[in-house]
Amino acid sequence: MVEAAKHPNIKLLAYTEVKNLTGSPGDFKVTLLKKPRYVDESKCTGCGVCSEKCTVDVPDDFNYGLGKRKAIYIPFSQAVPKIAVISMEDCIQCKSCERQCLAGAINYEQKPEEIEVKVGAIIVATGVDMYDVAKRGEYGYGIYENVITQVELERMLSPTGPTNGHVTRVSDKKIPKRIAMIQCVGSRDVKTNPYCSEVCCMVAMKNAKLIKQHDPDAEITIYYMDLRTVDEGHEEYYRGVRGHGVNFVRGNVARVREDPETKNLLLRVEDTLTGEIKTAEADILVLSTAVVPSKAGIETGAILGIDRAASGFLKPIHAGLNPQETKTRAIYICGTAQGPKDISYSVSSAKAAASAATAWCLAGEAALELITPIVNEELCIGCKRCQRNCPYGAIKVVDGIARVDETSCKGCGICVASCPAHALDLRYYRDEQIREEVAATVKS
């Protein structure tokens, strides 16, 4: 991100979201909404004095509520750009930050700004959200303090996190000695998300290894359905983690209860290898929750007209042959916007999308389908049936007449078949041509 911010040909518009898309491939007009930071970006130096002087403490979203932040804050230490933002939902308007800011960057009068940019291609890389396990209260999450998720554990393990790299219990801040992890929470489950989230096994093992390196005496047990260590080196990594003394139990955790006095977690587990019912006690319980389509991805995809797969992730035109291309030319998807991926696959898909977008923009001209529909304006009744049925968004009814965007059309013919007024004809497959071919075939 730092390199991207410094690149002369890259313009970063942080704190900005897509509101509308018009135009056609190669000539898109994108309307953006730049939300107010209430801090002048050209003046803020990221010194952090404003946060130090702020008197308001609220749960830190970046640290999943495990730490506190101020009403004016820099989202995280490596944020790009490193500029403060004021949360008006939390601000009490004391103006202390404004008085203390030596750069004069605080601006309480800042308003949302609408920006229109013209681009030749678009790449959607909106990432994922985490499955909201609190909704169902699974395994006591949101009920028992010492039940956390892998993401929350990672924030604890981070040197810049809320506990400065030390894993502690939420209830009493003590160092846990017995740690249990449950895999596939909210994934591979027909009631929630039937797909595999792909990264959870390796994340759990990585975090378990970090804890063992920090505290070799810690007792860590991972409960799993089956381990999916599919990439090169992952199986060896798994064996290495086992060598560090991490226990792996193939089993289902049927019940989690809390000891009200010690706040320890009591687990009832079915060992699916032996069929034995076991009980275990843990100081903290870590849930490996599913990755799910991000809210930003769903909203942006709807604005850009990108289809969604059954899983909810953005859908390519063909998962095998065109994994980065969408039904609209010059709009590409990559990373976990398309589905669960680890870092290496996210990087490779991002490079593929960037390559495709660059090739499109540098070509200077586009190869179009010859088989495209023609509109008979005298017959068109403006019913919009073709517009509704077109899977590529290539037809729009304007002033009561259907108009075809030939750069988006794939020549599938659905519009022709669905037109009740027979106002559409497909080049090279016109009704008159087909009738003559039928007549000639019958005659012969």
Distance CA 75, CA 60 (A): 9
Pairwise CA distance, residues 67 & 311, whole Å? 33
pLDDT in tens, 195-238: 999 999 999 999 999 999 999 999 999 999 999 998 889 999 99
pLDDT value at residue 407: 82
What value does the mean pLDDT take over residues 379-402?
Answer: 93
Alpha helices, H only, 1-119: 2-6, 49-53, 96-100
Question: In this predicted structure, what is the pLDDT of residue 126?
Answer: 95
Residue closest to 184 by CA, chosen among 277, 251, 271 = 251
Distance CA 381, CA 441 (A): 34
Which residues touch 343 (CB under 8 Å, ≥6 apart)? none
CATH 3.30.70.20 fits 373-443, yes or no: yes
Query: pLDDT digits over 180-202, tens only?
Result: 999 999 999 998 999 999 999 99
Domain boundaries, the chain: 2-115, 129-292, 293-363, 373-443
Torsion of Cα atoms, 419 then 425 then 427 then 430, to 10°: 120
CATH fold for domain 129-292 = FAD/NAD(P)-binding domain (3.50.50)
276: alpha, beta or left? (left if phi > 0; alpha if psi -120 to 50): beta
List, for residues 277-330, the tens digit of each pLDDT value: 999 999 999 999 999 999 999 999 999 999 999 999 999 999 899 999 999 889
DSSP state at residue 174: P
Task: Give the CA radius of gyration of the chain.
Answer: 28
pLDDT of residue 406: 86
Q: By the 8 A CB rule, do 117 and 20 touch?
A: no
How does pLDDT run across 272-292, given as a tens digit for each residue? Answer: 989 999 999 999 999 999 999
Provide the pLDDT for residue 386: 95
Residue 284, SS3?
strand
Is the predicted pLDDT of residue 393 greater than 90, yes or no?
A: no
- pLDDT above 90 covers a percentage of the chain that reads 83
Q: Give the whole-angstrom CA distance, residue 328 versus residue 354.
A: 16
The position carrying tokens 């449950």 is 182
Mean confidence (pLDDT) of the chain? 93
For residue 370, what pLDDT is reported? 84
Q: Tell me what pLDDT residue 230 has.
A: 87
Cβ burial, residue 385 (10 Å; 0-12/13-18/19+): middle
Per-residue pLDDT averaged across 19-48, rounded? 94
The answer to whether the CB of 60 falls within 8 A of the CB of 43 is no
CB atoms within 10 A of CB 183: 25
Range among 278-282, 361-365, 408-412 rated most confident = 278-282
**Nearest of 55, 35, 50 to residue 104 by alpha carbon:** 50
Give the pLDDT confidence score for residue 392 in this predicted structure.
Answer: 86
3 state DSSP class of 348: helix
Residues near 44 by beta carbon (within 8 Å), at least 6 away in sequence? 83, 84, 103, 105
How does strand 291-293 pair with strand 147-149?
unpaired
Distances (CA, A) of 308 to 205, 312, 333: 31, 5, 11
